[in-house]
Amino acid sequence: MSDVDLTGAEPLDTSKPVVLVVDDDPSVGRMVRLSLEIDGAVVLSAESLAEGRGLLRPGLRGIILDRRLPDGDGLELLTDIGAVCPDVPVVVYSGLDDGKEPPSVKRVNKTDIAGVFEALGFS
């Protein structure tokens, strides 16, 4: 369980889709951010589980998770995501493929940015 209070998180302005990207690789983060921004999304970026927890908000349009983060496995955020924004699509975008993702989470190969868009339901 998280030691961060998520119950007071402010909802986001959803006039544009807002996507949270949790990945500690700066080059991957930039590529994903740029691709999403070109498609009209607002991107929130986190490089750790702790930063990701702090950015969870109702109204997110999607969450992209790396599995290997400096403070743990990206899947550890799933409980917090379920508490704050239970209906948001979650995409694992990671080189780690151990089959531990639950069925509710879509896994996309780390080189397949088009697959990320498809998994999030973007055009």
C-beta separation of 76 from 48 below 8 A: no
Backbone dihedral region for residue 64 (phi beyond 0: left; psi -120 to 50: alpha; all else: beta)? beta
Which residues, at least 6 apart from 40, have a Cβ–Cβ distance to it below 8 Å? Answer: 16, 17
Q: Is the pLDDT of residue 101 over 90?
A: yes
Residue 108 belongs to a domain: yes
Considering just the CA atoms, what is the radius of gyration of the chain in Å? Answer: 13
CATH of the domain at 31: 3.40.50.2300
CA dist., res. 77 & res. 58, Å (int): 15
pLDDT, averaged across the chain: 88
Q: Is residue 5 included in any domain, yes or no?
A: no
pLDDT, position 105: 95
Is residue 107 within 8 A of residue 79, CB to CB? The reply is no
Question: Residue 9 domain-assigned?
Answer: no
Model pLDDT, residue 114? 92
Residue with tokens 């973007």: 122
What is the Cα 78 distance to its own chain's centre? Answer: 10
pTM of the model: 0.86
What average pLDDT does range 50-77 have in this prediction?
96
Owning domain of residue 72: 18-120
CA atoms within 13 A of residue 2's CA, in its CB half-sphere: 21
pLDDT at 78: 97
Domains contained in the chain, number: 1
Q: Is 1 within a domain? A: no
